[in-house]
Structure 1
Amino acid sequence: MNNVILNIFDVESEAFQSFNELKNFKQTENTKIAQIALVQNVEGRITVKDFYNFVDSANEEAFKGTLIGALIGIIGGPLGMLFGASLGGLGGLTVGTSIDTAEASLVQYIANKLPPNETAIIALVEEKDEEVINALFSKYKTQIIRWEAERVADDIVAAIKVQENLYHQAQVELKAERKKERTQKVQEFKDRIKKEFATLKSKIKI
């Protein structure tokens, strides 16, 4: 099963320690890790503190084109903030818990469940046994939540479309506002011209 795993830490230092340990993960036939990212909510915006691409670790730019890179790009943008404001809390999750993705997409969940200063690890994994990954985090105070990678990919594509529509809508509204401002400015010039000629007319001696 290809999964995207979200691991939310109660202690920030443990998140960094766990991330460094994951970078040295030995791939096996049953468990493979493709990408990991350490993220944190900094003043209401999800930011990347560190990342690692097991497939191409030497190319930092390659991360932006990965599934996790695209996910973080969405979460860190205006759409992520919108989801965070609109989605109700989802509590009571523990290590290894899976949630119904019909209830919330990963984009929505991270935006809603990662409050200011909280830290998390997001990973793309192929796993035949979930207990392997669970065991890696068992010594930390964490929540582990899984989504099917294919579903996350669908959500990202849909989110990108929504983001594009929001951008287009903003451009239309901005254009309309500029037109309104221009119309108002033209009217101001007309009123001023009318006033100026009225003033001149009052000064004409008949």
Structure 2
Amino acid sequence: MKKVALVTFKDSAATYEAFSQVKKIAKSNTLEIRQAAVIEKNAKGTNFTMQDSVDYESGDRVIKTSLIGMLVGILAGPLGILCGWIIGDIAGLSTNYLKNKKTVTVFDKIAGELKEEQLGLLLYIDETDPALLDTMIVEKFDGSIERFDYTDVKEDVSTAQKHLEK
């Protein structure tokens, strides 16, 4: 099942160690790493930067035009625009529609999970059993994982891109 996962650690060194391990197990029976990136939230908590990345999906290892590249690109600058978009949606919606609309986006969750100057590992994965990644991240590196459904992430990215083009 395709997912995007944000993995956070208490220690920055653990982020790079886990990134190294993820690259070693890029393809296994229960887990396929399609893309991975080490991201960092700035000291003000307003921007994100990609520190390192790998893209096994496109073959050329260039992640800038990939799903994770787009996700980080949107997180990197226009968080204020996205917050305005969400607030505008909430203000302009009828109560009935609001009950059915997903108003918390993947951007909100990622921005909320990473603290200022904290590193995180953003993964685009295809896994049949979460046990391998859970064991490696939680037990070995004392990390935590937040998984997002791929279709929800893709929809949020697409909606944000359309909004930013206006």
TM range (shorter): 0.7 to 0.9
Aligned to 1:168: none
Within 5 Å, give how 1:146-161 maps onto structure 2. 146-161=147-162
Root-mean-square deviation over aligned CA pairs? 2.4
Count how many residue pairs are aligned between Structure 1 and Structure 2.
149
For normalisation by structure 2, the TM-score amounts to 0.80
Instruction: Give distance in 1, aligned partners of 2:163 and 2:79.
Output: 8
Instruction: Give distance in 2, aligned partners of 1:40 and 1:81.
Output: 20
Question: C-alpha displacement at 1:136, in angstroms?
Answer: 1.5
Instruction: Give distance in 2, aligned partners of 1:59 and 1:30.
Output: 22
Aligned to 1:65: 65
Aligned to 1:120: 120
Taking every aligned residue pair, what percent have the same amino acid on both sides?
24
Aligned to 2:111: 111
Match 2:47 to one of 40, 45, 48: 45
Instruction: Give distance in 2, aligned partners of 1:152 and 1:82.
Output: 14
1:80–1:70 distance in 2 versus 1, CA, 3 Å:
farther
For normalisation by structure 1, the TM-score amounts to 0.65
Amino acid at match of 2:132: V
Which digits, 9 at most, give the CA deviation of each residue in 1:117-148, with x for residues without a partner? Answer: 11100101111111111111122222201111
Unaligned runs of 5+ residues in structure 2 are 88-100
Aligned to 1:36: 36
Instruction: Give distance in 1, aligned partners of 2:80 and 2:29.
Output: 35
Q: Quick check: which has more Rg, 1 or 2?
A: 1
Moved over 6 A (4+): none
Question: C-alpha displacement at 1:78, in angstroms?
Answer: 1.5
Instruction: Give distance in 2, aligned partners of 1:120 and 1:36.
Output: 10
Indicate the structure whose relative CO is greater, using CA pairs within 8 Å and at least 6 residues apart: 2
Which digits, 9 at most, give the CA deviation of each residue in 1:151-188, with x for residues without a partner? Answer: 100000011122223xxxxxxxxxxxxxxxxxxxxxxx
Aligned to 2:98: none
Secondary structure, counterpart of 2:28 in structure 1: coil
